[in-house]
Amino acid sequence: MKVFTVVGARPQFIKASVLSRAFLSSNIEEVLVHTGQHYDKDMSDVFFSELSIPSPSYNLAVGGGTHAQNTGRMLEKLEELMVAEKPDCVLVYGDTDSTLAGALAAAKLHIPIAHIEAGLRSFNRRMPEEINRVLTDHMSSLLFSPTEDAKRNLLAEGVSSEKIFVVGDVMYDATVFYSNRATKPSWVDQAGLEIDNFVLCTIHRAENTDSEDRMKNIFSGLADSCIPVILPMHPRTRKKLDSLSMLLPDIVRIVNPVSYLEMNWLEANCKLIATDSGGVQKEAYFHKKFCITMREETEWVELVDKGVNCLVGDSSDLIRSAINSSGFYDFSEFFYGRGDAGIKIVDVLKAYI
């Protein structure tokens, strides 16, 4: 069996590491295609090398344009490669432009599509990610959901239950596999950080970075943190901050983008996490850290219901209150499988393709 895997963004490289290992042990041929959506070296190349992911068979070098430009260019190039490679299945992850382009190209060529992280919904159609995930789900032949909630979303949209497989979360597989390889960033000691006494923060969503008011509100809330805030700076966020000429509060310490293994260390050793990332919300839970989500909604609703994730939008008051609170958070219940999602996915692919 030949699987054609499409990746293009940091979280997808991490997820792909899980399936690539499972494919190797099952003698399944994988054609790994990197669209180039994350073209910054610190956001792309380093993940392939440190996670021991095989070098991509192809790198399309498509990135930096609008959603329409990126998707269109990816679609054209992916179709050409699929025709040449003749895969038995096209595998896509998550909700990026690369995900949608891979699914569209496969659907037009009548190649079965397997979607990892199927059924997630934020119910906000203004988010490009929501459009990508909904369209991909409804084109896919096999839908691999991380939770029962995700399955229920698909069933509510009329998707046949025969297509849906609740397998757990491949991101949890990755966290388990790499947890003993976490790497302390070289700058931690010099920065004087104390274990369990700093906030780890990430900001990259366009809904935040494209709004001067939202960015000012977020940093106003972070400014009143009682402990240091460490912010690995996403290239998009840095560009926006430069254009706004914003003065950042002293408590917020900007660092360069970190690798996945460094991020793992920071997540394991911080006090709490503030983010607008979907993946980091889950990683916070894997590491038993309270998460402050700087969005109006999340696709990981079970974490909010459990009380270990707090939606604050861009409210400076809510951000300030959440950071400085000292509540008890119950991490005893687990939602995302047992770290064997990759094996389950491979078993389904072998049975159905």
- 40 and 119 inside one domain: yes
Pairing of strands 113-116, 2-7: unpaired
142-145 and 290-293 beta bridge pairing: unpaired
Question: Residue 266: inside a domain, yes or no?
Answer: yes
329 part of a folded domain: no
d(C-alpha 171, C-alpha 177), whole Å: 10
Looking at the structure, do residues 10 and 158 belong to the same domain, yes or no? yes
Q: Is residue 210 part of a domain?
A: yes
Q: Which domain holds residue 204?
A: 183-324
Of the residues 38, 115, 204, 234, only one is catalytic, namely: 204
Question: How many whole angstroms separate alpha carbon 184 and alpha carbon 194?
Answer: 12
Strand order in the sheet with 229-232: 252-255, 229-232, 199-202, 272-275, 290-293, 309-311
In tens digits, the chain (353 residues) has pLDDT values of: 999 999 998 889 899 999 999 999 999 999 999 999 865 555 556 667 777 777 899 999 997 788 899 999 999 999 999 999 999 999 999 999 999 999 999 999 999 999 999 999 999 998 889 999 999 999 999 999 999 999 999 999 999 999 999 999 999 999 999 988 999 999 999 989 999 999 999 998 888 998 999 999 999 999 999 999 999 987 777 877 888 777 788 999 999 989 899 999 999 999 999 999 999 999 999 999 999 999 999 999 999 999 999 999 999 999 999 999 878 899 998 999 999 999 999 999 999 98
The total number of structural domains in the chain stands at 2
Strands (E), 27-77: 29-34, 58-59
CATH code of the domain containing 135:
3.40.50.2000
286/265 same-domain check: yes
67 occurs within a structural domain: yes
Query: Is residue 76 domain-resident?
Result: yes
Same domain, 119 and 203: no
Residue 158's pLDDT is what? 98
Domain membership flag for residue 11: yes
Are 345 and 291 found together in one domain? Answer: no
Same domain (yes/no): 133, 206:
no
- Residue 2 near residue 24 (C-beta atoms within 8 A): no
Kindly state whether residues 212 and 97 are assigned to the same domain: no
Please indicate, yes or no, whether residues 158 and 255 belong to a single structural domain of this protein: no
Max distance between CA atoms of the chain, in angstroms, equals 57
Query: Distances in Å between the alpha carbon of 255 and those of 41, 230, 236?
Result: 16, 7, 14
Structure pTM? 0.90
Active site (annotated) includes residue 287? no
Flag whether 174 is in a domain: no
- How many residues are listed for the chain in this entry? 353
- Tell me, yes or no, whether 163 and 24 share the same domain: yes
Q: What's the confidence (pLDDT) of residue 126?
A: 86
CB 92 within 8 A of CB 11: no
Give the model's pLDDT for residue 50.
78
The two beta strands, 58-59 and 142-145, are: unpaired
Beta carbons of 294 and 275 less than 8 angstroms apart: yes
Say whether both 40 and 65 belong to one domain. yes
Same domain (yes/no): 190, 304: yes
User: For residue 284, which of 251, 329, 220 has the smallest C-alpha distance?
Assistant: 329
Establish if 175 belongs to a structural domain: no
Instruction: Clarify whether residues 196 and 265 are in a common domain.
Output: yes
Q: What is the pLDDT of residue 235?
A: 75
